[in-house]
Amino acid sequence: MNKHVKIGLFGFGCVGQGLYDILEKSEGFRAEVSRICVKDRTKARPIDNRYFTFDKDDILEDPEINLVVELINNADEAYDIVTTALKKGKTVVTANKKMLAEHLEELVYLQNKYNTSLLYEASACGSIPIIRNLEEYYDNELLYSVSGIMNGSSNYILSKIFNENLSYHTALKQAQDLGFAETDPTLDVGGFDALNKLCILITHAYGTIVKPEKLFNYGIQNLSDYDIQFAKEKGYKIKLVASVRKIAEKSIAALVIPQFVKKEEYLYNVENEYNGVTVEAAFADRQFFMGKGAGGHPTGSAVLSDISASTYHYRYEYKKLAQHHDITFSNDVYLEVYLRYHQKEEVELLQFKDISEKYSGKHFNYVIGIVYIAKLAAIKEELAGRNIFIAATGNTFQRVEEQKLKQPTEVSLQLT
C-alpha cells in the first residue's frame, strides 16, 4: 500500500533542482517537498524562500518528514545526515556514491537495526536502473562480469576529443560549463567517481563489500595527443571503463582504467554524457544497458524512481549478501596494457611480465604488455603523479596460472 511522502531535501544544486522540477510534473503518487536544507544564504533560487532552511535539524528532527533525500557533494556531511536519518527511522534516498562506497557495510547494518530503508539508484550510472536490476533480476544469476562506462563527465570529454577533435582542456571546460564536471574535476577524470560506483555494484552483483582503496583506478587526466593519434590509427576510441569479473569459483577482480574500444564493441557508440553497462551472466547471457549518466534531470529521474519505490515500502534485500557465497576480492590477476612513457624507469616501474609490442621515437614511446594488477594497485598514487598514460588493450583479466608469455614485436608508426 502506498503512503503519502513528505520530503526533507538536502541540497538544491543541479540534481536537487532537477528532482524538484520532475516532482512538480509527476503524476501517480503523492509526494511533496516540505523543507530544503542548503548552505548558501545569499544565493538566488527559483522557488519560494519559505521552503529553505539552513539548519539540518529542521528536517532530521521533524516527525512529519518521513523521507530524507540527500543530494549534497560533501561525503562526510552526507554520512552524518544519512546515518542520523536512518537512526530516527526515516526512509533515505541518496545519490552520494563516495559516501556509500566508503560506508556501505555500516549502512546495511543500520537499515536492519532500525528497520528502515536506504535507496540509492541515482548513485550509479545516472538514469540506468542498474542497481535495481542486479538486486532483482539477477538475484540468483551466476554473473561472469559487470563492466562499462560509469562516469558521464569523462565520457563527454572523450567523445568530444574523438568525434570533434577538441583538445582535452577544451572538452573539459565544456563539460564543466554544462554542469557535467565539477570545478575540480579530479573525481571524474581521475576515475574515482567510477571506482565508487563500481564498489556499489559489486555488492549487489556478487554479495561482497569491497572498499574503494582496495581497487586499482587510473584516469584520463594524462591523456595526450600521441595517445589519441595512436588510438585513431588503430581504429579505436578510448573510454574510461570500470569492470568487475569473476576469476574463480569464489573470487572476483575489479578495476577502473582507460580502455581501447573497437568498433564492434557496445561501448564504442556510447557517447557524450551517456553511460553504458554490460552484464554477462551464465543463463541470461550478455545484456547491455545505456542511458544518460550525468545531468540534473537524468539523475533526478533515478532519485524519483527511489521515491516512488519508497511509497510501496521497497527496500534492498541485499540478496546475494544474504546468501553468504563468501566471494572474495583479489588483485592477483594480469592485464594487457598500453603504456606511453618518457623514461625507461617508467617502464621498469610497472614491472611488465611480458612485452608484446614496443615503439621508441623522438617524442613518443610506448610498450604493450602484461602487468600485474596487484603491483599497479600498490603504486597507484605514484603512477597518477607521473606524466605517463596507461590504457587497457581490451583483453580480459588473466589469472596467474593462465598467463602466457609472448615475444616482443618492434613496430613502426607514422606518429608525429
- Asked if 135 and 321 count as a contact pair (C-beta separation under 8 A), the reply is no
Reported in sequence order, the residue ranges of 95-180 that DSSP labels E, i.e. its strands, are 118-119, 143-149
* Torsional sign, CA 375, 267, 122, 141: negative
Cell numbers for 55, please give them: 539548519
- Asked if 173 and 155 count as a contact pair (C-beta separation under 8 A), the reply is no
Q: In whole angstroms, what is the distance from residue 394 CA to residue 336 CA?
A: 8
Catalytic residue among 97, 197, 246, 292: 197
Number of H-type helices and E-type strands within the chain: 15, 19
> Which residues are 289's β-sheet partners?
277
Reference 131, options 149, 115, 119; nearest CA is 119
Reference 259, options 272, 276, 243, 244; nearest CA is 243
DSSP states along 200-266: HHHHHHHS----GGGSEE--STT--HHHHHHHHHHT-EEEEEEEEEEEETTEEEEEEEEEEE-TTSG
> Which residues are 329's β-sheet partners?
252
User: What value does the CA radius of gyration of the chain take, rounded to a whole number of Å?
Assistant: 22
Q: In whole angstroms, what is the distance from residue 37 CA to residue 80 CA?
A: 14
Name, in order, each residue with C-beta under 8 angstroms of 338's C-beta and a sequence gap of 6 or more.
227, 230, 260, 366, 367, 368, 389, 390, 391, 392, 393
Q: Is 358 noted as a catalytic residue in this protein?
A: no
Could you list the active site residues? 197
